[in-house]
Structure 1
Amino acid sequence: MELPFGLPTYDDRMRRVRARMAERGLDGLVVSMPDVVHWLTGVSSVGYLWPQALVIDSGDGEPEYVTRTTEEPGVHMLSWLRAPRVYDIATEDAVEVIADTVRRHGLDQAVVGIELGAFTLLPGNWDRLRALLPGVRWVDATDLVPGERLVKSPAEIAYQRQAAEMADHAMEQVFAAVRPGISETELAGIASHALGAAGSEFAAIPPMVVSGERSAMVHAMASRRTLSRGDVVCVEFAGVVHRYHAVLMRTIVIGEPSARVREVADCVERATEAAIAAAGPGAPAPAPDDACNAVLGELDLVRRRCHRIGYSLGVAYPPGWLEPMTLVEGDPHVLAPGMSFTVEPNLHLPDEGFGIKMGDTVVCEEGGARSLSRLPHSLHVTG
């Protein structure tokens, strides 16, 4: 049995989740998101491309995991579960198996939480599940387990620190490789190789590299475009340890940057550091965003923002790595020690032909917030 943590950790997680279920008046819970299933059980697979479900009742027994037969060896090797319910995709209907499992746990006339926001719950399967279980009163519980994950243990943060070290190493390899004539895809490959060589697992999102005018698409994937002198290059990827992610973003210029690129990058550097400084314990979730905007406003750059300043980050699988807390106006969370999140005041200036990407994974600690990266927040100039 290969688990990131000892069995008492998983016992405690199940206890906490069942307490949340009781607070919401739920008799049971059906979850299918891979990050949720992994956090609760240790299961780690891409098998979530087929219908899966972890059925949890209000008792103190083992939840029942429904998955396809292909995943059974991994369940026994990578989780603490002893008796998964596996189905043969050639001869059994997965949704009927999930419905039968809900019945066998005595939940067919109960109040049951389900992740209505899950990409793993396809609309057709959801319609059939409701038809097969007409006596269930379903309640949206998309954020029930992720909400329990926002404050991380020291052991979880330690995995993120390791992941951040791997990301720093990979970014330094990218810095060293950037030159005229290399392609975006080559740089993405260098980042992937460096991450793997450092021990990182596959990330929920592949390395992103954009250059030249494409750098204004700061959230795009690498293309076969070759770099030229004077190009702005934006890079983003994550190190991963036991599925815990640490995201890192930096901007590079080949040769001397223009005065405008330098001016904007210097402002983003100060905005990043202001946001991190504002992310201490007790701060409302939007505080880093407000601090960032106060700096960016000096150059009228707030309107150039691409997206939120950051979001909670931890265990993740493709296609994304966000947890439910976002550092924006309207989010009710209060920052607390043990929370980890990104700070990324990325800008796009397509009319000026470039973008700026800058971001770290940050941890809220008793004495304040701290970036997990040792790399400076300044523009990296090479060549």
Structure 2
Amino acid sequence: MVDKQILSNRLDTFRKELKNLGQDGALITKRENYMYLSGFSGTSANLVITDKKAYLLTDFRYVEQSAKQAPMFEVIQHKTDIKDTILEILNAEGIKKLGFEDESLTYAEYKSFKGKFQGTELEGIGSVIEGLRSIKDSYEIETITKAVEIADGAFSYVLGIIKPGITELDVAAELEYQMKKLGASGASFETIVASGLRSSMPHGVASEKKLEIGDTITMDFGALYNHYCSDITRTVFLGQPDKKMIDIYNIVLEAQLTSERGAVSGKTGREVDKIARDIIYDKGFEGKFGHGLGHGLGLEIHENPRLSPSGDKVLKNNMAVTVEPGIYVEGLGGVRIEDTIIIRDNNPLVLTQSKKDMIII
């Protein structure tokens, strides 16, 4: 459970943002955001937060759980229509300007709220909470570190079962099983295992294809631990690889290591992406690295900031991001190498410990 002081700090920071926006209060409906602010991890809740009060509205199933997990909030079992309970709070608190998550609330939900909350002006707060979430506190870094350790452990295990004749689905199942045995609640996204010619597909999810001698095998997976995600990619070879694939591997490794060292506070995501992209393009593979270098992660597998050609946000200390360059050549194969790191002033904290030297099984 998240420490009460950490939850208090998050709530205080959000209230300052609300004040800066000129809002009387905010309605929080996105699960990852209400989890972050309240500590409640159930699947049904809305928060109403004012300068002085904090309410968590949930149904009968979660009243006891939310009371334990969300100590900074007054827990209310809402009426059949949750909007009726929200309206009572708005009237009691005299809220005339109510912030809402316009980047996640559907248009239908917005119309429903607007029609119900007569006399209260609804104003979007954009990605304010996501911005707060992008900089991890001590609890989050500790939790993500554990999620990374679990993924590392699963990778170490699965290296011992890879052999000709097993399928990509077999490998994916073993990765996910081992992550659960090591403490994960599940995988943080659909596991990617792409072998042979399929490895040229960056998001080639596991198939019934059987592994063969000579295959390049790319595995991209992550553990979900206490609701936080990890993300790792490793590319290994079953038998001696083609010389072209060895060259590609070494280029990707150089790009990964160099851009990882360059992922420091004060640079933009675009600048870090360019480090890896320049190395790959200079070696003759322009157009073969068609995705961004990395992304933030936490309660969601893809969060801000983005390390990509369009990544204009400045990196700050304690952001958790991935660094995952790749080269993909249709008809030959592909290589991607990925770590999860924590941004620091000079040297980033690399959480992923699985070896990156070429592995030939």
| C-alpha distance after superposition, 1:274-296 (max 9, x if no partner) | 11111122222322201001110
Determine whether 1:53 maps to 2:46: yes
Query: Which shifted more, 67-76 or 244-253?
Result: 67-76
- Cα gap change, 1:82 to 1:280, in 2 (>3 Å): closer
1:371 alignment counterpart: 350
Determine whether 1:216 maps to 2:200: yes
In structure 2, what is the Cα distance between the partners aligned to 1:154 and 1:204? 21
Q: Give the TM-score taking structure 2 as reference length.
A: 0.91
1:28 to 25, 29, 36: 25
Q: CA deviation at 1:9?
A: 1.2
Q: CA deviation at 1:123?
A: 3.2
Determine whether 1:116 maps to 2:107: no
In structure 2, what is the Cα distance between the partners aligned to 1:325 and 1:159? 19
- Cα gap change, 1:83 to 1:155, in 2 (>3 Å): closer
* Aligned pairs, number: 361
In structure 1, what is the Cα distance between the partners aligned to 2:124 and 2:310? 20
Percent of pairs identical after alignment? Answer: 21
Contact kept, 8 Å, 1:281 with 1:368, in 2: the verdict is: no
Contact kept, 8 Å, 1:75 with 1:81, in 2: the verdict is: no
1:333 to 313, 328, 347: 313
- Cα gap change, 1:162 to 1:128, in 2 (>3 Å): same
| C-alpha distance after superposition, 1:80-118 (max 9, x if no partner) | 255433347xxx2344444454444432x32x2221222
Letter of the 2:9 partner, please give it: D
Contact kept, 8 Å, 2:188 with 2:223, in 1: the verdict is: no
Letter of the 1:93 partner, please give it: D
In structure 1, what is the Cα distance between the partners aligned to 2:233 and 2:108? 38
Q: Give the TM-score taking structure 1 as reference length.
A: 0.87
Query: Which shifted more, 146-155 or 9-18?
Result: 146-155
SS across alignment from 1:64:
strand
2:115 alignment counterpart: 131
Contact kept, 8 Å, 2:179 with 2:187, in 1: the verdict is: no
- Cα gap change, 1:93 to 1:225, in 2 (>3 Å): farther
1:344 alignment counterpart: 324
In structure 1, what is the Cα distance between the partners aligned to 2:29 and 2:304? 16
1:292 to 276, 292, 297: 276
| C-alpha distance after superposition, 1:151-174 (max 9, x if no partner) | 223343222222221111111112
> What are the ranges of 5 or more consecutive residues in structure 2 without an aligned counterpart?
none
Letter of the 1:55 partner, please give it: V
1:259 alignment counterpart: 243
Query: Which shifted more, 97-106 or 238-247?
Result: 97-106
In structure 2, what is the Cα distance between the partners aligned to 1:78 and 1:18? 20
| C-alpha distance after superposition, 1:121-160 (max 9, x if no partner) | 3332222112212433333224111211222233432222
